[in-house]
Chains A and B, each alone.
Chain A
Amino acid sequence: MPLEKGKISGKQLTVLYITTIVASAVVFLPGVVAAKAQQDAWISSIIAAITGFFLALLVLRLHSRFPEQNVIQYSRTILGKWPGLITGAGFAWFFIHINAVIIREFGAFLATVLPETPPVVFMALIVLLSAYYVRNGLEVCCRIAEFYFPIFVLQVVVIVLLVVKEVRWQLFEPILGAGWGPVIEGIFPPVMWFGEVITMSMILPYLHDKSQAARSLFLGVLLAGILFFLASFFTIGVFGGDLTANLNFPVFELARTISIAQFLERVDAVLMSFWVAGGVIKITTFNYCAVLGTAQLLNLSDYKPIILPLAVIQVFMALTGWENVGQLKYFINDIIAPYSLILFEGGIPLMLLVIARIRRLGVTK
C-alpha cells in the first residue's frame, strides 16, 4: 500500500524545489559566500548554480532508473537489504539533521528581529505549521508552495528594483582581484544548498507526468540560481564585499536601506514574514522527506502517527544542537559542507548510480 496517494504536477515540483532552495539561501548565503569570495561572490553564485545542475542530473539519472522508488527505497534495491537499510537510515537522519539546522537558523534569525521572545516559540510554531502541512499530504504542501511562490519571487524582485539606485558599480571591482581561488572556495556553501535537490528524489516518484521530471527540475535549478544570483549581486552592489561578509543577514539589511519617498521605509519586517513563509515551506519539504523516509524504513502503513514525534525531536535537536549563534555559523560554514555534500548530496547518490550501472539494476534505456 503506498504511503502517499497524492500526485503532483511538474510545475508544482519546480515551485517546491525553488522555494526549498531559495527560502534560506537568500537570507543567509550572500554573507557566507562574500566571506570567502568577497566582491566576487556573484561569480561564485553562478558557478554554484551550474554545479547545482549536475547534482540535479545525478538525482534525475537515479530517478530514471527507478521511477517508482525514492532514494531510501532504491538504495535498498541497489545495495541489498542491510547495507541499503543503513544507507536509507542515513538519509532519514540527514533529512532530520538538516531540518534541525534550518529550524535553528530561522529561530536565530527571528530572535534577532524579535529579541524579547524566546526562540523556542518561533521554532515550535514553525515546525507545528509544517507538521500540519505534512499531515495533509504532499499535494497540500505543494499547493502551499505554489501559493507563496509568486509572493516569494516578487519580493526578491521588488527589493532588487527598490535598491537599484543604491548600487555602486565600483564595488564590484576588481573582478577576480584575488584570482579564482577565493571564488572556488566561495561556491561550496551554495552548492550545498543546491544539493538539497536530494529531497526531490523523495518526491519525484509522485510526479504525475514522469516525462516532465527533468524539465521541471532543471527549470527549478535555473530559477533558483537566478534568484540567488540577484540576491548576492545586489548585496555586493550596495554593501561591497567586505561589509556583506560582516553582516549576518545581508539581504535583510538590504531591505532596511530601502527608502522610497519617505513613505516606504524599513520594509524588513514584511520581508521577515515572507521569509518565514519560505522557511516554513523549506522545513515542510525536509519534514516530509524525513517523515516519509522514516515511515518506509519502519515499514509503517501510514506516516501520520510519526509526524508529531518527529517534529518534537527536530525542535529538540535544533534547541540543543548548538549553544550559540557563533557555533551555528561555524557549523554551517565549515562542518556541514563536507558532511552533507560529500556524503549525502553527492557522494552516496553517485555511488548508488555507479553500482546500479555495474549491477545493471533498474530501467535502462
Chain B
Amino acid sequence: MKPGKFLLLIYISLTLMIVPGCWSRRELNSLSISQAIAVDLEPDGKIVLTFLFVKPDSGQKQMGGGSGSGMSYVLVSEKGETLFDTQRDIYLSLPRKLFMGQNSLVIYSEQAARAGLGPLMDLFFRHKDFRLTNYVFVTRGKASDMLKFQPNLESNPVREIFGAITYAHMRVSKTIPKDIKDFLIDLGAPGIEPVLPEIELVPKLAGEELPQSGSSGGGGPSQKTKLRLAGMAVFKEDKFVDWLSPDETRALHFAVAMGHLGIEIIPGPSDKKLAVEIIGGTSKIKPIVKNGRLFIRIESTSAANIGETMGVKGIDNPDLINELNKETENVIRERIEKLVKKAQKEYRSDFMGFGSAIWREMPQYWKEIENEWDELFTEIPVEVVVKVDIKGIGMASDYSNER
C-alpha cells in the first residue's frame, strides 16, 4: 500500500466521521447551567425538582447600562415520579439544554430525607455530568424555598451558600459540610450512620433591613429572610432521624475530629466570661476491652488561644491559664457527653461511628457483634477524655483602663 492510499483512507474516515454530524456538541449559549437542585417530596409520593439556573452575564454591561435590574438566575420546577424523569420533563418548559456539570449544591427537604435519601441520590451518583463533590444539605421546610432568599454580596443564592459553607465550617464549626461522596461513604461503611448539614432561612434582625428602593415585592425573593447554616441532620441508614442543634454539632466536631475550631465561651473568675478560640487539635474514638467488657473512649485534644477576656484580669498568670484549661475541658466534655447520651438513648443512631471504630480496630470482634450492634450501641459505656491547652493570649495582657 502506498502512503498516499493510506492517507486517503484516513481522509475518508474523517469525512465519514464529520458527515453524520457532531453528536455530543452543545454550544455554550444553548446551555442552561444549573447551579443547585432542590429535591422535595410531596405527600403523594411525587418528586418535585427545583433547578436554579444561572443566566450568563451578557458581557457588555458598560454598553447596555441597565442590566443590573433583573435577577441573574431563575428557578424552574417540575413534578414527576423519579428524579431522572422529572429532570427530563424540565425540557417541556426549558428553551435550552440542561447542563448539570457545574451543579454544586443539592438540597433535600425533611420529608424527602425521612423517606430515605438512597433512592433520591442515585441519579447524582450515576449521571455522567454530575460531580460527587456536590454539597448536600437538608432543610426543615420545603427545599425549593431555600433558593428563594435575597443574596447579600454574591450574585445568586448558590454562590452565597457556597461561600458561607467554607467559613461556617472553618471559623464557627457549627456545621459540617458534606458532599455526595462523603454521604455515600458513610452510608456504605459498617458501624457508622451519615449526617448532613442543615440549611435554613431565618428572619433578618431589625438592624439588617435596608430601606426598600422600589416596590419589587411581587414574586421576587423574600427580602426579610437570610441564610443560616447551622446544625446537622442525623440519619439512620439513609433515613432522616432528627436534628442536631448548633451546639451539638460542635460537640460532634470535637468528638470525631472534623475540625477543632471555633469559639468556646467559658465562665471565668468573678462571674465574668471569657471567649477561648480553639485553633486545632485531634480526636480519636477508641474501642477498649477491659475485664471482658467493651467500652468506647473518646479522646479529644485541642490547642486554643484566649480570644476575648471581657474584663477578666491577670490573664498572663499561668495558674489562671491552667484553670481556664480545666474549665474549657469541662465545657467540651459535658457537651460531648450530652451528645453521646442523646445519640444512644434518643436517636439510636451511631452517627459518631463507634461501630466503625470497632470494625477498624478489631474486625474479628466486629463480625460477632455486627448483627446486634443496633442494640449494643445504646448500651455501650462511653468515656470522654478532653485535653485543652491554651497557648496564646493575643496581642495584649490586661485591659488597660481597669488597672
Taking beta carbons and an 8 Å cutoff, which residues of A are in contact with B? 112-118, 121, 124-125, 128, 132, 135, 170-171, 173-174, 176-178, 238-240, 242-243, 246, 253, 256-257, 259, 266, 304-305
Contacts and interface: CB of A to CB of B under 8 A. Distances in A.
A353 B24 CA distance: 51
A243 B185 contact: yes
Given A118-B23, A177-B359, A304-B1, A240 B189 contact: yes
A174 B360 contact: yes
A239 B363 contact: no
B280 to A, nearest CB: 16
B128 A257 contact: no
Contact of B24 (A116, A132, A304): A116
Interface of B: 1, 6, 9-10, 13, 17, 23-24, 101, 128, 131-133, 181, 184-185, 188-189, 356, 359-363, 366
28 contacts: A114-B23, A115-B24, A115-B128, A117-B24, A121-B17, A121-B23, A128-B9, A135-B6, A171-B185, A173-B360, A174-B359, A174-B362, A174-B363, A174-B366, A177-B360, A177-B363, A239-B185, A240-B185, A242-B185, A242-B188, A243-B181, A243-B184, A243-B185, A243-B188, A257-B131, A257-B181, A259-B133, A266-B131
Given A177-B366, A256-B133, A305-B1, 16 more contacts: A112-B128, A114-B23, A115-B128, A117-B23, A121-B23, A125-B13, A125-B17, A128-B13, A132-B6, A176-B363, A177-B363, A239-B185, A240-B189, A243-B185, A256-B132, A266-B101
Contacts of B366: 174, 177
A170 B192 CA distance: 13
Contacts of B184: 243
A58 B1 CA distance: 38
Contacts of B17: 121, 125
Contacts of A239: 181, 185
B23 A116 contact: yes
B195 to A, nearest CB: 15
A177 B1 CA distance: 60
A266 B132 CA distance: 11
Contacts of A240: 185, 188-189
Contacts of A253: 132
Contacts of B361: 173-174
A178 B362 CA distance: 10
B360 A170 contact: yes
A173 B358 CA distance: 10
Contacts of B128: 112-113, 115
A117 B10 CA distance: 19
B322 to A, nearest CB: 33
B351 to A, nearest CB: 15
- Residue of B9, B101, B132 ringed by the most chain A CB atoms within 10 A: B132
Contacts of B359: 173-174, 177
Q: Which 8 A-B pairs have the closest CB atoms?
A: A242-B188, A177-B363, A173-B360, A117-B23, A174-B363, A116-B23, A116-B24, A114-B24
B232 to A, nearest CB: 19
Contacts of A116: 23-24
B10 A128 contact: yes
Contacts of A176: 363
Nearest to A253: B132
- Residue of A170, A238, A240, A259 ringed by the most chain B CB atoms within 10 A: A170
- Residue of A116, A174, A178, A242 ringed by the most chain B CB atoms within 10 A: A174
A314 to B, nearest CB: 16
B320 to A, nearest CB: 38
